[in-house]
Structure 1
Amino acid sequence: MIDNCYIDGISTQSRFGVWVTKGGYKDLLTFPALADPDKNDWPEEDGIEVDLSEPRLQEKEITVSFLSDTHEGATDFIAFVSEPGYHILRVPSLGREWQIRLSAQPANKVFASATSFSIKFIQDVPVRPLAIALPDPGLIIHDSGYKLDGVSFADYGVVVDVARSELLKAPAAKQNLNRKVRTSDGQIYDADHLVFGSKEVTFKCHLKAVSMSAFWQCYDSFFAALIQPEERQLHVAFTGGTYPCYYKKASGFQLLGLRGPVIVEFSLTLVFTVFRIRETEYFLASEAGEYIITEDGEFLIDMK
């Protein structure tokens, strides 16, 4: 039998004949979403003004899928985790534990000699990772061209797989003053002023590390950097631009490899507080790719 889950130090397989199904603990890997910060949305300016002086994390829902080899074992297990108070859930293969409480039983399927079910737990107080020195993934990580506050995602073991289409999409324009006249078609609109709102972009990523301990170091360091006070600066190599943003949520965690190496796929959603698509600029450069500067050393030569 599979002895892959402990609650309050008790093996669920040994006591109840219950174990976590393959991939059934993926929600444990999810990093909590950010509580919605206070913001101002000025109608005459691009983007939003956000109070990120003290970013706070939300509570986290964790749904775990189980299988029991007896109907009685499933019933006894649910009764056990239904006891008041918090429980400590530990998955040995993940090398970490979580303080949780029962919330609901979203699924239950009874077979002739087994029961498949899932339990939704709540982690009321998520553990906030501490800002630490850059980790070592223990592997050579492909640099996908993104930097967070000047640090490459690759230094955290993170690769961005898909983002370009959403990143290059312009945010929606803010609504200007307008007036409808009953005797005229359409509306009268102030078209002399155009500003854009904020926008969300979801990056499809994966985190790769040589071992589970290295994975958690990379994971903690990356998300600790994302939730530091004030706006983050995201540099994107293929646009050459740096954009102010903040972390909103992470989702869709999937454990693709557990041993040699650890690979976890996830989606990362950032809110860009100000984002405006600008015309591409062309500057004179040498064959070596170095910009040619005027004699006074202050200006580039605009090829337009």
Structure 2
Amino acid sequence: MTIDSKDIYTEWGCTLLEGSFDGILKYPKRKAVKYNNWAEADGIDPDLSIVEFEPKTVKMEFIMKADTLEMFWSRYRKFITDLSAPGYREFDLIPGMTNRLRFNAGTAYDKFVPFNAGENASVFEFSLIEDNHSIFPATPSGGINLRGDYSINGIDFADFGIGSDDKQEDILKYPAIKTPFTDGRTTDLSTIKTQHKEIKLSLWMLAGSVEEFLNNYRAFFTQLAGAGNQELYIKSLDGIIQIYYSDCPSFSVEIWREDQIAVRFTISVVAPVVSWVDAGGDIRYRVLKDSDLGLLADEKGRIIVFN
């Protein structure tokens, strides 16, 4: 593992703790998508021509060995000085993956044990920022046998080594209804239109090597987070829906060995138009109305509507 081509153990006496891979691999959040939200149409009309990501905070936890407290502070000060030098640092911590990060000057030491005399080891955590996420197109290889639940742009999730926890709540939950037009006295209930919908998928991923994992990881997010709408097939709906990538709220490495990788992560996607439910379409409604009192309501204040 190197930083700016310097071995972190030889240069600073450090070893990166494995939990730090979570932040490195967590895919960045997409910048807010601009869209039109027409009252007379279902969902939204987003501009998906450009894909940009928000800066990502990466927390890394290190353990540093030193024979004495003085040696620790000498190594630690040098490490801080080298990491916080002007410009970006190039982190090569996962074989085949380079991350350009800058030191977060406002870092908070959530974990900081300066010196444990019993083990001559210190544990501390740094916060770094990735400003420009690099995209590496790839083709899936390897995979698993659990097929058919999901596919993205015609490629089964299994081809990426990805399976699902089979939680369908966000998919099956009925979408919100757009607020009907009103002029303050009357409310137009002649049509019912649905809002767009965010869907979260709880996923896991397996690979037989670091190389296979990194290839399939890049291939999956290349398909998911590309420009324009993506086609997501969902078995429980028996159909394809149009979606675009929004965020990767969580990412956790559970097993990291040369011959076995296992991770869990969550993705958030947005369906601009909920096409798999019938929200009433253009059904005409009749609303009870009095010429003097306006719209009539029941004893609970609910507008009286007949279809």
For normalisation by structure 2, the TM-score amounts to 0.79
User: Which residue is 1:291 aligned to?
Assistant: none
State which of 129, 138, 158 in structure 1 corresponds to 2:136. 129
Identity among equivalent positions (%) equals 24
Q: 1:278: how far off? A: 3.0
Secondary structure (helix, strand or coil) at the match of 2:108 reads: strand
Aligned partner of 2:86 in structure 1 is: 84
Q: CA deviation at 1:216?
A: 1.2
Structure 1: how far apart are the matches of 2:25 and 2:148?
Answer: 23
Cα offset for 1:26? 1.5
Of 25, 34, 38 in structure 1, the residue corresponding to residue 34 of structure 2 is 38
Amino acid paired to 1:233: E
Q: Which of 201, 205, 208 lines up with 1:207 in the alignment?
A: 205
Where does residue 126 of structure 2 map in the other structure?
Answer: 119
Structure 2 CA distance for partners of 1:6 and 1:224, relative to 1, 3 Å: same
Please state if 1:141 is matched with 2:145.
Answer: yes
Residue identity matched to 2:123: S
Distance 2:267 2:65 in 1: 37
CA distance in 1, matches of 2:184, 2:47: 35
Quote how far apart the aligned CAs of 1:111 are.
Answer: 4.5
In the TM superposition, what whole-angstrom CA distance separates every residue of 1:219-262 from its partner, at most 9, and x where no partner exists?
A: 11111111222111111112212211101111321112223321
1:123 and 1:60 mapped to 2: Cα distance? 5
The separation in 1 between residues aligned to 2:230 and 2:168, in whole angstroms, is 19
Count residues with an aligned counterpart: 265
Do the aligned residues in 2 keep the contact of 1:144 with 1:160 (CA within 8 Å)?
A: no
User: Given the alignment, which residue of 172, 176, 200 partners 1:172?
Assistant: 176
1:237 maps to which of 228, 235, 240: 235
Matched, 1:99 2:100: yes
Aligned equivalents of 2:42, 2:167: Cα separation in 1: 22
- Aligned residue for 1:135, secondary structure, equals coil
Aligned to 1:269: 268
Q: CA deviation at 1:11?
A: 2.1
Code of the residue aligned with 2:174 in structure 1: it is A
202-211 vs 29-38, greater mean Cα deviation: 29-38
Shift in CA distance, 74/162, structure 1 to aligned 2, threshold 3 Å:
farther
Q: Which amino acid in structure 2 is aligned with residue 6 of structure 1? A: T
After superposition, the Cα gap between the structure-2 partners of 1:87 and 1:272, relative to the gap in structure 1 and judged at 3 Å, is: same
Distance in 2 (alpha carbons) for counterparts of 1:148 and 1:17:
44
Deviation digits for residues 37-93 of structure 1 (CA, Å, limit 9, x no counterpart)? 22111111111111112222333221111222354133331122111111111115x
Cα 1:151/1:63, change in 2 over 3 Å: same
The answer to whether the 8 A contact 1:156-1:219 is kept is yes
SS in 1 for 2:189: coil
Q: Give the drift of 1:106.
A: 2.2
Kindly indicate whether residue 163 of structure 2 is the aligned counterpart of residue 159 of structure 1.
Answer: yes
Residue by residue over 1:243-288, the C-alpha shift from the partner in whole angstroms, topping out at 9 and shown as x without a partner, is 1110111132111222332111111110011115536xxxxxxxxx
Shift of 1:30: 1.4
* Aligned-partner Cα distance in 2 for 1:238–1:144: 10
CA distance in 1, matches of 2:107, 2:77: 12
Relative to structure 1, the CA distance from residue 141 to residue 249 in structure 2 (aligned partners, 3 Å threshold; closer, same or farther) is farther
- Give unpaired runs (5+ residues) of structure 2: 67-71, 279-307
Cα shift readout 1:160-203 (whole Å, capped 9, x = no counterpart): 2143111100121111123557xxxxxx5333321111111111
Q: For residues 27 and 114 of structure 2, what CA distance do their matches in structure 1 show?
A: 34
For structure 1, list consecutive stretches of 5 or more residues without a partner in the other structure. Answer: 182-187, 280-304
Residue 76 (structure 2) aligned to one of 49, 74, 89: 74
Determine the C-alpha separation between the residues in 2 that align with 1:236 and 1:110. 47
Mapped partners of 1:148, 1:167: distance in 2: 15
Which secondary structure state, in structure 2, belongs to the residue aligned with residue 266 of structure 1?
strand
Deviation per CA, 1:134-167: give whole Å up to 9, x if none: 3212x53312511212221111221121431111
**Equivalent-residue separation in structure 1 for 2:188 and 2:20 (angstroms):** 54
Instruction: Identify which range, 8-17 or 192-201, moves more after superposition.
Output: 8-17
Say which SS state the counterpart of residue 75 (structure 1) adopts. Answer: helix
Runs of 4+ in structure 1 displaced over 4 angstroms?
none
